[in-house]
Amino acid sequence: MTTISPTRVSMYDFLYHDTQPMLSLLADAAQLSLPQARLGTDASLQAIVSALLAYQQRHQGQAISKKLFSRSAVKELRQYNSMNFATISSTLYHRHDAADAVFSDNSRVVKASEHIAEKIDATTQQTQILLTSLCVIVLRELAILTEYSQLDSDEINKWFALQPQFLSAARFDSQLTHTSSAETESNSDAPKSTTEAVDNIEAIENNSESNVERTLLNTEQLSSTPPSFDPYWYELTGFKPENYEPVQDMQMATGNYLKAIGRSPDNLQQGRHNDMLVFTEMHAVVLPHQRWLLQLAKISDIYLSRNRLRVNSEPANPPKPPLVSLGLIGGNNDNTPTTTSEKPIEYEASTPLWKNPVILIIILVVGILGTLATLKYQSQKSDGVTLATEEVLEQDAIDERQQQDVAIVMVDEDEPDVAETEKAE
């Protein structure tokens, strides 16, 4: 059985990890130091996530998909496959329109910038550049995530409805308590006295590598957890969290889910269906085991592993959407069992040449034009023969008339010439 963290479907956690590689570009664009940019980015992400939740609460998921994720700024930014100066230039160009669309009011953008500026000791203009630029990047990343996961409007609404539990104070308090208890247990192994310390020098030296690894692990866990959410952003954006009633017994719900899709513990012990993907337990956060949500979590995990927002030159070929095994997710929407093997990609067969409508239209047009040209040629040819025949007949008629016009005159020799008669007179 494969487990995945519920935070993989958290917008706040996803964006927190996703935007870390481009911190230097954001700091340069807003003219902030790296510590200021880090703190300002965390606060800006909280404000943007809260504004998106408020937008969904007012307009629902279909408006988010059509009016936010399908904006021209998002489409233009998605032409780039990595973060570089061309991407930042496009982000700075569209940042005002995107921020006004997300926050629904420019005055809220100004108030949010002023609040962040007080926290990081910067000017309002600097934090406004950072906040508005992140609006475009957040829309781009969430649009890619929803497209790769093939979420419809109803699933987007359900996804947004799950977000407040990731921002609740109970979740961050439980993580802080867990971290403190882990540090207490690690410190309990320390020597209680100087004598014990001297006796354990060799053991400490032998276990130096394990201590270093433990320290690095604790540091990685601390850095992987975003800072606690500030409820001020709910007041600024006008978002009203609704009471979400999670399943009380998570183990029972998981057991019923596995039984419904034919993947009970008995099958797991027999070595079958051992690639089932389920959510791990998390205090104050409970997610339903639905296929689309598991697919979203897996694609989010793959997307974060690709580190798409790293500063890099533009690759030659654009990346392809990740392919998630249906057997790994398990079950369809109606909880019917699926095979564990990866379903091969079925490509559409190429259309035969004689069935191509474009080719058929071209052949039809050429045939009609050829037929018209042939008919015109035959008509002109027949007209030429007729004219030649008429000319020959007319010439024969002229010759015949000339022959008929010749007069035969008979002269009487006995009568004297008229001229001579007149002369004699």
Spell out the residues 6+ positions from residue 156 whose beta carbon is closer than 8 angstroms to its own.
Answer: 56, 61, 64, 65, 146
Q: What is the rounded average pLDDT of the residues 3-7? A: 90
Q: What is the rounded average pLDDT of the residues 141-166? A: 93
Query: Which stretch, 1-10, 119-128, 209-218, 391-400, has highest mean pLDDT?
Result: 119-128
Q: What is the rounded average pLDDT of the residues 199-216? A: 42
Is pLDDT at 381 greater than 80 in this prediction? no
Is pLDDT at 23 greater than 70 in this prediction? yes
pTM of the model: 0.64
CA distances from 138 to 82, 341, 397 (A): 14, 35, 97
Please write the tens of the pLDDT for every residue from 300-349. Answer: 999 898 887 877 777 767 667 877 766 666 544 444 333 333 344 444 56
pLDDT class of 221 with cuts at 50, 70, 90: very low
Please write the tens of the pLDDT for every residue from 255-292. Answer: 555 555 555 555 554 544 456 788 888 888 888 888 89
Q: What is the pLDDT of residue 265?
A: 52
Closest CA to 156 of 228, 46, 68: 68
Is pLDDT at 161 greater than 90 in this prediction? yes
Please write the tens of the pLDDT for every residue from 102-123. Answer: 999 899 999 999 999 999 999 9
Residue 223 near residue 38 (C-beta atoms within 8 A): no
